[in-house]
Structure 1
Amino acid sequence: MESIPITVEGFRRLERELERLKKERPAIILAIKEAREEGDLRENAGYEAARERQGMLEARINFIESRMPRFNVIDLSTLGGDQVIFGATVEIEDVDTGDIKKYTLLGPDEAEPSKGSISILSPVGLALLGKYEGDEIVVDAPRGKINYEIVSITFNGVPDPS
């Protein structure tokens, strides 16, 4: 079983989500029971909606529970160095356009590109892993190959989610 890196904060967030989802179960079961009592289930929109909600809830619970034992919880405050690894904040420059981007590399369960973090399993994340400041990487993107140069590597923790 392959481990999945996750930050302490990301792990706690998933624990809270799992707890919240499990607390929703009784309300959904009650909604299904009440909808069943309304009669014909073939044309009962309330029953169908409650069953769909239950299916989505159980799928998410099962997904989180199946991943919990595989998580390798990492405290970002303990990380450092000059090489791109999980938890590094990397500033890269598009060699052709000069555009600068800054990303923190996180695990697939907590990466949010719109908030400045990308998955270590994304094309950019995979290309960056193991590299050093000044190295160039090539990323296959829909618009073609993009050449980036690593401008800086720092270890600042998780970007502010707000």
Structure 2
Amino acid sequence: MAEVAYYTKDGLEKLKEELQQLKTSGRANIAKAIAEARDKGDLSENAEYDAAKEAQGHHETKIAKMEELLANARLLDESKLDTSKVLALSIVKIKNTKNGATMSYQLVSESEADLKSGKISVTSPIAKGLLGKKVGETTEIQVPAGKMEFEILEISR
């Protein structure tokens, strides 16, 4: 059974739009490539045709995976979530206790994660270390560079 993933409204919409694009223009482009390769003659020795058919298989697999992802996607109502502790979709302001650097992250599903926009996956080491913590608590988190200690300064939605 597939794992349930929680999404923001925007994240779920992007997922639906990407799936729609794959099903429409993506399939049309693959069909066009197959037709062009077929027009080039003998299919038994046509590497271009084989490559186009293989690309079609990969494309259909991607569509199937996205459909499964959507079937197990759940929309979270951010207005009803508790802000007393860190949960999925929380925006958390943390301070590195060693160097005093502060940063803010929103904990989102793996497919919505984008470090440049401050969104980290709830499955990442930092997010796992923050989940369930409250403002004022400190937590030691094992990251690839070693152990880091963070203090939770603020939790919002």
| TM-score normalised per structure 2 | 0.87
Aligned counterpart, 2:19: 18
1:1-162 matches, cutoff 5 A: 1=1, 2-23=3-24, 24-41=26-43, 44=46, 46-155=48-157
| TM-score normalised per structure 1 | 0.85
CA deviation string 1:85-110 (max 9, x = no partner): 11110011111111111100111121
CA deviation string 1:18-68 (max 9, x = no partner): 111000213312321220221355764543553353233223211111111
Gaps of 5+ in 2: none
Runs (4+) of structure 1 exceeding 4 A deviation are 40-45
> Residues 80 and 53 from structure 1, CA distance in 2 versus in 1: closer, same or farther, beyond 3 angstroms?
same
Q: Once the 2 structures are TM-superposed, how far is the Cα of residue 69 of structure 1 from its aligned partner?
A: 1.7
Gaps of 5+ in 1: 156-162
Contact 1:80/1:154 (8 A) holds in 2: no
Q: Once the 2 structures are TM-superposed, how far is the Cα of residue 77 of structure 1 from its aligned partner?
A: 3.7
Q: Percent identity?
A: 37
Contact 2:126/2:143 (8 A) holds in 1: no
C-alpha RMSD of matched pairs (Å):
1.9
